[in-house]
């Protein structure tokens, strides 16, 4: 039974995009986490700080921007609010919507977070080479555009997946 999961048809997991995306992201997120900790910023807050706009960001838009579930986002927003890096205020035009704003301390933390991401990306650019880095970035953008339309991945003649239970 284990053998069935080790291969997808005759393709080894290491020969699939998802394997390398997960594997790479795991390593990259560990690097980001250790660097963020060294700078005194919990890693779970880095991308929230970077995606919060000066004019305030609707809290409902933050999760999808970062691929974060609403419960995790709520927990992180509470933590950011408790340490004084953000404040939530009702939207000026739609009082039902809450906007997230960075405080002065949050702006300082955002500078640290931005420096962290820029530094890691600059180093990766050096190690990969500018041309390879730019090509990888462009191909990742293309992949995300394709994945925005998951129906495009399903062949027109695809039959329903059999139930193996």
- What CATH number did the domain enclosing 86 receive? 1.10.10.10
Q: Which of 30-39, 55-64, 118-127, 137-146 has the lowest mean pLDDT?
A: 55-64
**47 contact partners, CB below 8 Å, separation of at least 6:** 66, 68, 113
* Predicted pLDDT at 59: 84
- Residue 34: inside a domain: yes
The whole domain housing 46 covers 12-146
> Considering only CA atoms, which of 137, 120, 102, 163 is closest in space to residue 34?
120
pTM, 2 dp: 0.76
pLDDT at 162: 62
Overall number of domains in the chain = 1
Q: What is the mean pLDDT of the chain?
A: 87
The whole-number pLDDT of residue 151 equals 84
What mean pLDDT comes out for the span 25-47?
92
Q: What is the pLDDT of residue 6?
A: 52
Residue 7, both tokens:
């291969």
Instruction: Examine residue 2 and state whether it is found in any structural domain, yes or no.
Output: no
Burial (Cβ within 10 Å: 0-12, 13-18, ≥19) of residue 92: exposed
User: Per the domain annotation, does 165 fall within a domain?
Assistant: no
């Amino acid at each position: 039974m284990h053998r069935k999961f080790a291969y997808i048809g005759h393709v080894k997991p290491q020969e699939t995009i998802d394997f390398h995306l997960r594997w790479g992201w795991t390593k990259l997120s560990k690097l980001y986490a250790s660097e963020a900790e060294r700078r005194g910023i919990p890693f779970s807050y880095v991308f929230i700080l970077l995606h919060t706009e000066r004019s305030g960001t609707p809290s409902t838009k933050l999760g999808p921007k970062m691929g974060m579930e609403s419960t995790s986002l709520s927990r992180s927003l509470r933590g950011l609010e408790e340490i004084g890096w953000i404040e939530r205020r009702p939207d000026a035009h739609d009082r039902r919507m809450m906007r997230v704003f960075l405080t002065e301390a949050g702006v300082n933390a955002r500078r640290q977070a931005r420096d962290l991401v820029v530094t890691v990306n600059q180093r990766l650019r050096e190690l990969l080479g500018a041309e390879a880095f730019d090509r990888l970035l462009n191909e990742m953008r293309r992949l995300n555009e394709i994945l925005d339309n998951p129906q495009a991945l399903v062949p027109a003649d695809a039959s329903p997946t059999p139930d193996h239970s």
